[in-house]
Structure 1
Amino acid sequence: MSREHVSHDDIEKFAKDRVNLPKEWADEYRAQAKRLRDKLSTYVSEHPDFTLKKMLISGSLAKGTALRTLNDIDVACYISGADVPQDIEELLEYLAEKLRSAFPNFTPDQVKPQTYCVTVSFKGSGLDVDIVPILYDGDPDWYGNLVSQEDGSFLETCIPRHLEFIRTRKAKDADFSQVIRLAKYWVKNMKTERDGFRLKSFMVELIMAKLLDEGKKFNDYPEGLQHFFSYLATSNLTDIIYFTDYYKKGDIPTHSEPIKIIDPVNPKNNASKLYTRKQADMIVDAALDAGDAIDAALAATTKEKTVYYWQKVFGSTFQI
């Protein structure tokens, strides 16, 4: 494969300039989340009726897979106690009331219950922090029930293990997170170009984890992306993807959905359960086109043509 016109280093520079969340931004976002957590901890010490057990930054910021366009932070809030509502709508309003009490200077529109979380908006930075309540019953591994982002139902999860799952794979391959970010940027571009296209970040992360576990290397970014696109194209997204870090294969129940990408901390949860076969076909078709574009870019004889084909993957923002 030719690297004459656009090399691994060029893709790396593009990622640094256009794709990745800058470290100083990430540090400030984490600091802002920490200030919120510290404020809540003070409130809890003064109001023991609010049985907050743990707060953890979660999502792409915590995993190191966030894009430059990140505009909200997920913070998991473990709550327990007999007075904690079990109804989802009541639970979110309960948490919102506690947050309003903890932040009396906030206006009502800065603390809003959503479908699965309570969003705290900081007017100064324009950043939103999504406080995700997790009903906790004392499990030593920090399993609990959160409100699913997909359908609003309760879903068993374990935030520390989700973070550990990614952390162990980053330890195996230093470029694991970067190729995930590049693939997520491709997804972002596809959403603007193809009506109805969807492929959530969690699914991208798990597909990449599968490839890593199978021995694929990501230290060459064009090749690493081709591993991803080739898998989507050749599997047709009909394989079941699962991991045995925290459960055995035999623990996985039968999943009948078209795409089966099983949550690594909960075998009962198919992370792709709401995806239709039509949506799967859109993902496969887009991956085929992206793979062909990279092949064409690597074979192109001029820089102009090479950049043209890479723009089919990343959009017009790709410039070298």
Structure 2
Amino acid sequence: MAGESYVDHEVLKAFAKNKVNVPKEEAKERRRQVNYLRERLEDYIAAHPDFDLVKLRASGSTAKHTAIRRRGGTGSDADVAAYLRVGGPDIGVSTVLAWLEERCKEVYGKTKVAGDFKPSDHAVGITMRGSGLKIDVVPVLYTGEPDDRGYLVTSGGTKVLTSVTLHLRFIEKRKGEAGDGYRELIRLLKAWIRESKEGDPELRCKSFLIELLVAHLWDVGWNGKPLQVDDYPQAIEQVLSYIVRTGLKTPIVFTDYYTADDVRTTTDPIRVWDPVNPENNVARGYTEFDRQRLVNHAKATLDTLTTAAYATTKSEALDLWRELFGPTFPGE
């Protein structure tokens, strides 16, 4: 296409490095703080054998290396899954969070003040004063199942069977096959969605859904071609084209840890199953309105990229790509 060379893989790779990826030193500091929290809590567990906190696992985008740099100082920088031993998953969420907050306060002792701990509806947020880093400690109700399976308490208060370890293994397997471009493509798509939500706050598309769409296209390809993880403009076009052409009506199932027959069918407008739990549609709660809005937005974005590909000047091409990634693109 005529203007493709104006915004090619190298331009997007540089943009990801300069504006999207978490800077190396910051990522290192996030992991150090998470490890410090884990070590403090694990030492506490060892000293209190009757303690009902069994183990801790780094989780979320930071652990998966799919996190993007923060904007505006809101949200969590890292997640830690705290596995709590319970007789069954029916215990009240507020009870669990109150108990977990007290344990975190005990672990940190007098090194932190009460304001550094902020419980939400599904996690205990801890702010590190020196760095400003925020870690969400998310309770997972553990009943002794293997592979770190336990019941995650979602922001809506629902308890969903999950496994932090198997989720990490799931993405590591595909990254191992595809190379570093796999996770950077996910980060670029997350940056696109974040920018899109700035213009349309009603647009719904969670990070995990982006990760699973990329995983699916890596597994099966699109239009007879593998997902082009070494050509970001082409790969982004493939993902957008998949969303538009399928309308997100085609169910997506992964068989790494269960068979397709295990999936509990639903009538949800978007059906993308959690690779660890065949009963959990990660798009549960998305309405037909949400589906159409996301598909229409992907179509508008695809149209913009098509126009950019035929741009006759670099300035024109960059202006069009800024509709995806905001005014800082290309971030040179």
Question: Which bin holds the TM-score, normalised by the shorter protein?
Answer: over 0.9
Structure 1 residues 237 and 298 mapped into 2: Cα distance closer, same or farther (>3 Å)? Answer: same
Structure 1 residues 84 and 293 mapped into 2: Cα distance closer, same or farther (>3 Å)? Answer: closer
- Which residue number corresponds to residue 156 of structure 1? 161
- Which residue number corresponds to residue 215 of structure 2? 209
**Residues of 1 paired with 2:292 and 2:90: CA distance?**
41
- Which residue number corresponds to residue 237 of structure 2? 226
**Residues of 1 paired with 2:27 and 2:274: CA distance?**
26
Q: Compute the RMSD of aligned alpha carbons.
A: 1.6
User: Please, what TM-score do these two structures have when normalized by structure 2?
Assistant: 0.92
1:199 corresponds to 2:199: no
Note if contact 2:77-2:135 (Cα within 8 Å) is conserved in structure 1: yes
Structure 1 residues 82 and 270 mapped into 2: Cα distance closer, same or farther (>3 Å)? Answer: closer
1:168 corresponds to 2:173: yes
| Mapping 1:259-298, distance limit 5 Å | 259-298=270-309
One-letter amino acid matched to 1:277: E
Matched positions, count: 319
Deviations 1:104-130 (A, max 9, x none): 222112123211111111121111111
| Mapping 1:1-320, distance limit 5 Å | 1=1, 2-69=3-70, 71-81=76-86, 86-105=91-110, 106-149=112-155, 151-174=156-179, 175-215=181-221, 216-319=227-330
Note if contact 2:42-2:56 (Cα within 8 Å) is conserved in structure 1: no
Note if contact 2:97-2:122 (Cα within 8 Å) is conserved in structure 1: yes
One-letter amino acid matched to 1:66: A
Note if contact 1:78-1:135 (Cα within 8 Å) is conserved in structure 2: yes
**Residues of 1 paired with 2:93 and 2:321: CA distance?**
45
User: Please, what TM-score do these two structures have when normalized by structure 1?
Assistant: 0.96
**Residues of 2 paired with 1:193 and 1:140: CA distance?**
43
One-letter amino acid matched to 1:117: A
* Stretch moving more, 84-93 or 255-264: 84-93
One-letter amino acid matched to 1:185: A
Note if contact 2:89-2:151 (Cα within 8 Å) is conserved in structure 1: no
One-letter amino acid matched to 1:42: D
**Residues of 2 paired with 1:308 and 1:111: CA distance?**
43
**Residues of 1 paired with 2:23 and 2:45: CA distance?**
33
Structure 1 residues 141 and 49 mapped into 2: Cα distance closer, same or farther (>3 Å)? Answer: same
Deviations 1:86-142 (A, max 9, x none): 211101111111111111222112123211111111121111111111111221222
* Stretch moving more, 104-113 or 187-196: 104-113
The DSSP-based 3-state class of the residue aligned with 1:260 is coil
Deviation at 1:3, TM superposition (A): 3.2
Deviation at 1:244, TM superposition (A): 0.4
Deviations 1:233-279 (A, max 9, x none): 11111111110000100001121111111100001001001111111
- Which residue number corresponds to residue 224 of structure 2? none
**Residues of 2 paired with 1:117 and 1:266: CA distance?**
21
Q: Which 4+ runs in 1 deviate beyond 3 A?
A: 81-85
Task: Determine which structure has greater relative contact order: mean sequence separation of CA pairs < 8 Å that are 6+ residues apart, divided by chain length.
Answer: 2
Deviation at 1:4, TM superposition (A): 2.8
Note if contact 1:173-1:217 (Cα within 8 Å) is conserved in structure 2: no
The DSSP-based 3-state class of the residue aligned with 2:126 is strand
* Stretch moving more, 157-166 or 96-105: 96-105
One-letter amino acid matched to 2:42: S
Note if contact 1:85-1:91 (Cα within 8 Å) is conserved in structure 2: no
**Residues of 2 paired with 1:292 and 1:104: CA distance?**
55
The DSSP-based 3-state class of the residue aligned with 2:4 is coil
The DSSP-based 3-state class of the residue aligned with 1:155 is strand
**Residues of 1 paired with 2:67 and 2:182: CA distance?**
13
The DSSP-based 3-state class of the residue aligned with 1:255 is coil
Note if contact 2:271-2:283 (Cα within 8 Å) is conserved in structure 1: yes
Deviation at 1:85, TM superposition (A): 8.5
**Residues of 1 paired with 2:249 and 2:229: CA distance?**
24
Which runs of no fewer than 5 residues in structure 2 stay unpaired?
A: 222-226
**Residues of 2 paired with 1:83 and 1:232: CA distance?**
39
Note if contact 2:4-2:308 (Cα within 8 Å) is conserved in structure 1: no
**Residues of 1 paired with 2:190 and 2:230: CA distance?**
17
One-letter amino acid matched to 2:26: W
